[in-house]
Amino acid sequence: MKTTFFKISLMAIAVSSFTMFTSCSKDEETPEVPVQAPKNIVEVASADARFSILVEAVTKANLATTLQGNGPFTVFAPTNDAFELLFDQLGVSGIADLDAATLTPILLNHVVAGKIASSDITASGYVPSLNTGAPGNNSVKLFVKKDSGVTVDGSKVIVADVMASNGVIHAIDKVILPASVVNHAINNPNFSTLVLAVIKAGLVEALSTDGPFTIFAPTNSAFDALFATLGVSGVNDLTAEQLTPILLYHVVSGNVTAAQVSSGSVPTLNEGNNLELMVSASGVSINSDVNVVATDVQGTNGVIHAIDAVLLP
């Protein structure tokens, strides 16, 4: 009986203590924890030491206000190490050696309209950047390649999905310089045979000039079909003299986008040899049997349209 009374007494004390503690807590005011506003892209980058050179460049190019706007934006953000590689490439010591006019198109080349998380990237393809320095004020495009990871014009995404209030940042390991038509062909593995042919024909320098050029670019499978027809194993079995007139037959002067293409005869850089274009509801065909399979790969000095066969003069 004493034991029971002792247990009941302990329970009574415990309940009494809990009641008193609760009563005291109600009398005290709980301090409010201030709610921090979410940070925008510029604020997120400014708070991350890895992006200090990027922030310096954005400030010098007067783009901070733009990137603090509603957006949303997707920024492929070069790290400090990426900028150091660029400085070595350009032979400069840092951002101080580059003016705003030089920095602006480079920085805008890393920004895409819309919020694209890494999970949204399910296949390789092209996206327009905010760099509208291409002929006709068109947006220079970026080739986003999806395989085991994600690369953008050859720059690897090393940290993905750094979220901000007005978009998302993906850190990359190299600065993405605006691509010419040659660079676009190099960046896309579907044009690797075309690149080999252009190099062997000695046309890289010519197609890297201001242009502008419109290039009807055969895919690798298109070249494979040509090699089978010619009975050769690849580009190595053709001479520069054989390749040059074929390649120039795929190039037209001017920056002609898909919306500007019309039916008719078009002169090429292979003088005296024209292309016959036919626009129909099903798309664009060239010389009646070659089809345009992808359009408007916009570069700084022209535009590429992919085709499914090699054009022969």
pLDDT tens digits along 4-48: 433 334 344 344 443 433 444 445 565 565 556 689 999 999 999
Cα–Cα distance for residue pair 105/123, rounded to 1 Å: 26
- Note whether residue 17 is domain-resident: no
Q: What is the pLDDT of residue 174?
A: 97
103 and 163, same domain (yes or no): yes
- Note whether residue 35 is domain-resident: no
Count of domains in the chain? 2
221 and 295, same domain (yes or no): yes
CB neighbours of residue 192 within 10 Å: 14
85 and 151, same domain (yes or no): yes
Each residue's pLDDT tens digit, 192-231: 999 999 999 999 999 999 999 999 999 999 999 999 999 9
225 and 117, same domain (yes or no): no
- Note whether residue 13 is domain-resident: no
294 and 190, same domain (yes or no): yes
Q: Which of 120, 150, 172 is the last residue of a domain?
A: 172
Backbone CA torsion sign across 241, 193, 133, 78: negative
153 and 227, same domain (yes or no): no
- Note whether residue 20 is domain-resident: no
59 and 152, same domain (yes or no): yes
Q: What is the pLDDT of residue 16?
A: 42
Q: Which of 172, 201, 226 is the last residue of a domain?
A: 172
89 and 147, same domain (yes or no): yes
Indicate the angle between helix axes 240-248 and 192-200, nearest 10 degrees: 120
- The distance of Cα 284 from the centroid of its chain, to the nearest Å, equals 27
Q: What is the pLDDT of residue 38?
A: 84
Give the residues of the chain that fall short of pLDDT 70.
Answer: 1-37
Backbone CA torsion sign across 257, 259, 260, 265: positive
- Note whether residue 138 is domain-resident: yes
162 and 45, same domain (yes or no): yes
C-alpha distances out from residue 295 to 33, 185, 288, Å: 54, 13, 18
The residue segments making up the domain with residue 146 are: 41-172
Terminal Cα-to-Cα distance of the chain (whole angstroms): 113
Specify whether the CB–CB gap between 140 and 300 falls below 8 A.
yes
191 and 302, same domain (yes or no): yes
Q: What is the pLDDT of residue 37?
A: 63
Q: Which of 116, 151, 172 is the last residue of a domain?
A: 172
**CB-count burial class (<10 Å; 0-12, 13-18, 19+) for 53:** buried
User: Residue 292: beta bridge partners?
Assistant: 307
- Note whether residue 260 is domain-resident: yes
Helix (H) or strand (E) holding 243: helix 240-248
Q: What is the pLDDT of residue 166?
A: 96
50 and 165, same domain (yes or no): yes
- Note whether residue 215 is domain-resident: yes
101 and 151, same domain (yes or no): yes
Residue 97: which CATH number? 2.30.180.10
